[in-house]
Copies of this chain bind each other. A is one copy, B any other.
């Protein structure tokens, strides 16, 4: 913007450019070392992430930085990005993929959808063969399942049961049938009832638009296993892609998801609908924004940029939605009447009860959210 750059500034800027070039060179050099690390890890089966090493590294770099007068938050923020990029690169270099993979033939039903593509890439990366069956492929879902060692159901929630009932009987008894639906009780029941194959429900806790699988999570709910082979195969395939695997049951999964997904999506929808009803000027509000509002606004607008059918299916099909949404509307009325009546004491008591509920977690939350707020402020 300012074009009257002072003369004294120009040589300093040139030196900074030169220094940053060395910075990028160091990054490239580091990348070379990380490639060698990935190679050792692949050959030895040593995991990509070694949390104790990461903790030591951060502590060591912070200390070095402080000696040189650099704020520890700055050093830590930088090295967190570097470590994250390093893990991501190791995964891309297949550091966690066993050297001797027994190649399997995997059918992905709904393989042309976002999640289907994401799974295809993951399996191909690991040296498997992938068959895609979708509404527009010549290969039918049944044919794909007949030919496959493992069949993945990756279709919209509302079609899941129907597709499972079509495909299940075509799966060989020694094969694996798995789904990736956001709810688990109903699809897992449908799979168990429609096939004699091994059955594992899964739920990837991320969308296909994610930049990297590194550090993302997937839930596994094994339902029928003739032996342990398929479970350990699937588990190590997920780990090899950099995912954290959480073992659970369909019922527990659905109960927790009524908060993690239903409450989160529903409350975001209520906020978005309220803003629309109030006809808020987004541009004006952004001018006056606090970092907290900015973050809420980003999360709300992000939500509405995505698929209404996916969200309605998640919210409508969870068995606990009734309880969650009625607790929410009750809380909304309760807080509203405390505020409108100006009941300071009642507000303070209610606030205190919720604070006690969050307990020690509040302290972690303050630190973690302050970090995110800094990252948001640095972009604006």
Contacts and interface: CB of A to CB of B under 8 A. Distances in A.
A361 to B, nearest CB: 5
A276 B353 CA distance: 8
A301 B75 contact: no
A205 B5 CA distance: 31
B339 A328 contact: no
Interface stretch (A109-117, A173-181, A192-200, A288-296): A288-296
Contacts of A75: 24, 27
Given A205-B288, A372-B295, A377-B215, A361 B282 contact: yes
Contacts of A33: 12, 15-16, 19
A321 interface: yes
Contact of A308 (B53, B272, B340, B351): B351
Interface residues of A, number: 171
A28 interface: yes
A263 interface: yes
Contact of A336 (B4, B326, B361): B326
A237 B8 CA distance: 25
A1 B370 contact: no
B81 A344 contact: no
A73 B211 contact: yes
21 contacts: A9-B40, A12-B37, A20-B61, A215-B380, A217-B288, A261-B290, A263-B278, A264-B293, A269-B335, A273-B350, A274-B327, A274-B328, A277-B331, A295-B295, A297-B365, A299-B365, A305-B363, A321-B340, A325-B335, A328-B332, A372-B376
